[in-house]
Amino acid sequence: MLDSLLDKSLVGYTALGHRWRHLEAIDVELGGRVALVTGATSGLGRATASALAKLGATLILVGRNPVKTERVAAAIVEETGNPNVRTELADLSLMAEVRALASRIEGPLHLLVNNAGVLLAERSETAEGFETTFATNLLGHFLLTELLIDKLEPPARVINVSSGGMYTQRIRVNDLQMERGRYDGAVAYARTKRAQVILTEIWAERLRDRGIVVHSMHPGWADTPGVSESLPRFHRLTKPLLRTPEQGADTIVWLCAAPEAASTSGLFWHDREPRPTHRSKNTRESEAERKALWDALSSMISA
């Protein structure tokens, strides 16, 4: 009853919502499991990586800054006592770097956490000509996942880190890179997160027979560097209510580790419970739009 009430209110997104749900500590042994986490040097990615290391997983941390990435890896080893942590460098907004990253991953891989993301105030394009938010949050992870599928050893899990902001948007297949009208960074971000949820459902069907589970989730409102830098006013107003990165990452870790999370695929989760993917009929996409999204992304990565 309480969970249902929290899910229907924004209070459920806050630290209070996490606390009131009384989630038990995750006690699962992940020794022998190899996890790759993108955006692993801060915020949710950093908290996820540390938690997986504590559970015994072998970690591959993906970051952009070599000094910061190595520093975080060393800190996780010291914090957890798990020496099985290595780093890889890649900018997920550049498809050439995504391809190079995937080629360096020998496998087997058991857990793939697609977490890296940006929310930008102004529209920009990468050196490859893609809108930066679209490239980082969506196209890069789409390409990485597709390239790593054959290296995922069943039972494997793919976790796509979305956002509650996706509830505000529907997919715009004819304007995936926000080239029309005024650019709004929050809208661009939310649309990529909506697309991640759609891809999760498509991958779940495509990969079911291969023993690969795919889920998406949203962390609620967490106090991360990304939030403070990209949404400073929101951060200032809500800071007393924000979750810690560890609270925000809890469901990511649970989806990676919990036996219950392997019994289904293609769901959208928050605080360890599956949630609706739409709050309004205005955000619903047609089957034709879902296919068009997949086809558009596939065309971009094959060009």
Catalytic residues: 189
CA distance 19 to 270: 13
CA atoms in the 13 A half-sphere facing the CB of 139: 28
Cite the beta strand spans of 64-220 per DSSP E.
85-89, 109-114, 152-161, 212-217
Q: Which residues pair with 113 in a beta bridge?
A: 37, 159
Hunting for tokens 């692993």 — which residue is that? 40
Task: Please give the DSSP secondary-structure letter assigned to residue 282.
Answer: G
Structure tokens belonging to residue 134:
């679209």
Percent of the chain as helix, strand, coil, to the nearest 5: 50, 15, 30
Amino acid at 24: E
Beta carbons of 200 and 193 less than 8 angstroms apart: no
DSSP string over 75-95: HHHHHH----EEEEE--TT-H
